[in-house]
């Protein structure tokens, strides 16, 4: 199959996806569909410039050919592979579960700073959802503990290490450094949440994944800022 044929097949699938999402009887130009859908679809927002360029290439292939089976332009392999990748991500998007499904280490509210530091030393964990029994109360991170210790350098270090982690959460209860999200969210929707918070000069340390994005549900996984590099 020629590259132009592969390109047109992928483009047509994207166009049909747009039509289904917009659900309008009247014709809407492709570039306009991109502008409409980018606000609600993180994948389209991510690839909007590519999609508009591919629309122009499609027009060159389809409308400017001189014979039924002759394409005036044959896209490069990289272009074909990229539009096929975008088509797959739109029609069968990767979700945060199972992509970021992982075993999590949680702490209890009465656990001490020393307990958390011991876990950090013995494992690769650096972020800890904290519970009081089965009720979620906050998120403690290695960075947060470091800052807390720095603010309390005048205190007795042994006594500081025996501080319950709940105290750290109480001191910073005005700062929400996490969000809960549904396991059905796409990886690009999750990425967008981090980016939108940064635009507001806020920093999220993690997105906590549950069945429906509710705090009382069991944790299925977590996405940290370091995990963003895994998103292609």
Domain of residue 140 covers 99-230
**Predicted local confidence at residue 153, as pLDDT:** 78
pLDDT at 201 (0 to 100)? 81
Question: Residue 208 belongs to what H/E stretch?
Answer: strand 206-210
Helix (H) or strand (E) holding 36: helix 30-37
Tell me, yes or no, whether 117 and 177 share the same domain.
Answer: yes
Same domain for 125 and 83?
Answer: no
Residues 226 and 137 reside in one and the same domain: yes
Q: What is the mean pLDDT of the chain?
A: 91
- Token readout for 108 is 């209890």
Examine the domain organization and report whether 107 and 204 are in the same domain: yes
Shared domain check, 110 and 78: no
Task: Indicate if 45 and 12 belong to the same structural domain.
Answer: yes
Q: Do residues 123 and 176 both lie within one domain?
A: yes
Percent of all residues in the chain with a pLDDT value above 90, rounded to a whole number? 72
- The last residue of one of the domains, among 43, 64, 91, is 91
Per the rule left: phi > 0, alpha: psi between -120 and 50, beta: everything else, 227 is alpha
pLDDT tens digits, 115-130: 999 999 999 899 999 9
CATH, residue 155: 3.10.580.10
Quick check: pTM over 0.95? no
Three-class SS state of 166: helix
- Indicate the residue among 75, 91, 107 that finishes a domain: 91
pLDDT digits over 78-129, tens only?
Answer: 999 999 999 999 999 999 999 999 889 999 999 999 999 999 999 989 999 9
Compute the distance between CA of residue 44 and CA of residue 28 in angstroms, rounded to an integer. 16
| 80 and 159 share one domain | no
Q: What is the pLDDT of residue 71?
A: 56
What's the number of domains the chain is made of? 2
pLDDT beyond 60 at 66 = no
98 preceded by a cis bond (ω within 30 of 0): yes
Residues 109 and 66 in one domain: no
Confidence at 72, pLDDT banded by 50, 70, 90: low
Please give the pLDDT value at position 64: 54
Which among 91, 125, 146 is the end of a domain?
A: 91
pLDDT digit string, tens, across residues 10-37: 999 999 999 999 998 888 999 999 999 9
Query: Is 168 in the same domain as 187?
Result: yes
SS3 180: strand
Q: Does the pLDDT of residue 70 top 70, yes or no?
A: no
Q: Which residues pair with 197 in a beta bridge?
A: none
- Structure-model confidence comparison of residues 153 and 54, the more confident one: 54
Same domain for 84 and 116: no
pLDDT of residue 67: 52
Cβ(94)–Cβ(190) below 8 Å: no
Instruction: Answer with the residue of higher pLDDT: 66 or 93.
Output: 93
| H-helix or E-strand spanning residue 47 | helix 42-63
pLDDT of residue 230: 79
Strand 135-141 with 178-182, pairing:
unpaired
pLDDT in tens, 157-189: 888 999 999 999 998 877 789 999 999 999 999
Which distant-in-sequence residues (6+ apart) come within 8 Å of 231 by Cβ? 187, 188, 190, 191
Concatenating the DSSP letter of every residue in 104-131 gives ---EETT-BHHHHHHHHHHSS--EEEEE
DSSP one-letter string for 132-164 = ETTEEEEEEEHHHHHHHHHHTTTS-HHHHHTSB
For the chain, the helix, strand and coil percentages under 3-state DSSP, each to the nearest 5: 50, 15, 30
pLDDT band for 231, please (50, 70, 90 cuts): confident
Residues 103 and 212 reside in one and the same domain: yes
């Amino acid at each position: 199959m020629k590259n132009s044929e592969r390109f047109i097949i992928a483009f047509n699938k994207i166009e049909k996806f747009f039509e289904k999402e917009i659900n309008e009887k009247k014709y809407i130009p492709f570039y306009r569909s991109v502008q409409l859908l980018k606000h609600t679809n993180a994948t389209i927002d991510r690839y909007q410039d590519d999609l508009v360029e591919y629309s122009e290439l499609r027009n060159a292939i389809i409308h400017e050919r001189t014979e039924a089976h002759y394409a005036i332009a044959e896209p490069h392999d990289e272009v074909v592979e990229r539009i096929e990748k975008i088509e797959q991500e739109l029609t069968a998007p990767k979700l945060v579960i199972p992509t970021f499904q992982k075993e999590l280490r949680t702490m209890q509210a009465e656990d001490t700073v020393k307990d958390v530091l011991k876990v950090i030393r013995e494992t690769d964990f650096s972020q800890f959802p904290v519970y009081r029994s089965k009720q979620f109360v906050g998120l403690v991170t290695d960075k947060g503990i470091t800052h807390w210790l720095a603010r309390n350098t005048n205190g007795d270090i042994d006594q500081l290490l025996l501080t319950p982690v709940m105290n750290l959460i109480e001191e910073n209860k005005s700062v929400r450094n996490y969000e809960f999200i549904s396991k059905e969210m796409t990886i690009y929707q999750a990425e967008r949440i981090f980016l939108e918070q940064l635009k507001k000069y806020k920093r999220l340390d993690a997105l906590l994944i549950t069945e429906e994005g509710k705090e009382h549900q069991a944790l299925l996984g977590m996405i940290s800022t370091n995990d963003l590099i895994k998103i292609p």
